[in-house]
Homo-oligomer: A and B are copies of this chain.
Amino acid sequence: MIQKKRSATLVITCPDRKGLVARISSFLFEHGANILHSQQHQDAENGLFLMRTEWDPSESDLDQQNFGSLFSTISVDMAMSWKVSFSDVKTRVAIFVSKFDHCLADLLYRHRMGDLNGEIVLVLSNHPQARTLVEFYRLPFYEIPVTADQKERAEQSQLDLMAKFQIDLIVLARYMQVLSPNFVHQFPHRIINIHHSFLPAFQGAKPYHRAFQRGVKIIGATSHYVTEDLDEGPIIHQDVVRVSHRDQIEDLVRRGRDLESMALSRAVQLHLEHRIVAYDNKTVILE
């Protein structure tokens, strides 16, 4: 949904027990919050309760500063993991890209159109090619080359940039370097990657070549959170399209571009709208 109006969003996970919705909604009511949208999900298998609630903060006394202490009466008691986000404070996004720029171009266009509920703060690349496009959209572009023997140093430069610009979310828009475990650990469930196959099929390198080789009739793209294990992180969104024997590898590559752009931008939007809860190497999408 497009959210033009101010809103606040609370996302909660905790052990399931009776009365959770009652306590949370009573708390919000007492603080003048008019609920706009609310979803709950019970994961029976894991005994987990998940909730996303969005309210109009205009008549409420809750704000980013006081929420934690006020809510602690409930959250501590219920052993909750929670995160509150007020729409005034935009999530700060960095996009990492290599040479293929279709996902980047798509994200920048959507950003300009106001479709993304966050702020793209900078674009970082290990190659110079994307600079012109990024500068067309009047965004800062940082080029940090990555070579085999200088990888650690390059990652430190990247991390410094992330810190300097207070980046909340990193989007790997066909960034062709594998991030080290150290890097990944600093952004748990805050790095989104696009893999150009229908995972778990064709994990790893050259998925279109292998899809062509296997003769599949549908190809896909998968956006997921990055974890230590390559292409094994929690899946956020997948898109697919039919192909035929007439499609050569270069056709799959070309048609896959649309899939990749769509699956990545969808995942980014879901993250920016605080609709994703990731645990147990899966995602729950609270739409």
Using a CB–CB distance below 8 Å, which chain A residues touch chain B? Answer: 1-2, 4, 18-22, 25-26, 28-29, 32-45, 102, 105, 109, 113, 115, 132, 136, 198-202, 214-218, 220, 234-238, 240, 244-248, 250-251, 254, 257-258, 262, 280-285, 287
Q: Are A240 and B240 in contact (CB-based, < 8 A)?
A: yes
Q: Which chain B residues lie closer than 8 Å to A287 at the CB level?
A: 246
- Option from B43, B102, B215 in Cβ contact (under 8 Å) with A282: B215
Q: Are A215 and B201 in contact (CB-based, < 8 A)?
A: no
Q: Which chain B residues lie closer than 8 Å to A220 at the CB level?
A: 218
**Can you add 18 more A-B contacts, CB < 8 Å, to A2-B248, A37-B246, A216-B238?**
A2-B251, A18-B32, A18-B35, A19-B29, A20-B35, A21-B21, A22-B29, A41-B245, A43-B245, A113-B257, A132-B136, A201-B201, A214-B282, A215-B235, A217-B235, A217-B236, A218-B220, A218-B240
Q: Are B115 and A254 in contact (CB-based, < 8 A)?
A: yes
Q: Are A200 and B214 in contact (CB-based, < 8 A)?
A: yes
Q: Are B200 and A250 in contact (CB-based, < 8 A)?
A: no
Shortest A89–chain B CB gap in Å is 22
Copies of this protein in the assembly total 4
Docked Cα-Cα span, A37 to B25, in Å, equals: 15
Docked Cα-Cα span, A220 to B201, in Å, equals: 12
Q: Are A21 and B25 in contact (CB-based, < 8 A)?
A: yes
Q: Which chain B residues lie closer than 8 Å to A32 at the CB level?
A: 18
A40-B42 contact in complex given A1-B248, A283-B245, A285-B244, C-beta closer than 8 Å: no
- Option from B38, B43, B218, B235 in Cβ contact (under 8 Å) with A214: B235
Docked Cα-Cα span, A199 to B237, in Å, equals: 19
Docked Cα-Cα span, A44 to B250, in Å, equals: 14
Docked Cα-Cα span, A34 to B47, in Å, equals: 12
Docked Cα-Cα span, A201 to B222, in Å, equals: 13
Q: Which chain B residues lie closer than 8 Å to A115 at the CB level?
A: 254
* Smallest CB gap from A243: residue in B: B238
Docked Cα-Cα span, A228 to B238, in Å, equals: 32
Which of A35, A44, A102, A215 has the most B CB atoms < 10 Å from its CB? A215
A217-B245 contact in complex given A36-B42, A254-B2, A258-B262, C-beta closer than 8 Å: no
Ranked nearest first, the 6 interchain pairs of A and B with the lowest CB-CB distance are A215-B282, A22-B25, A21-B25, A201-B201, A19-B29, A22-B29
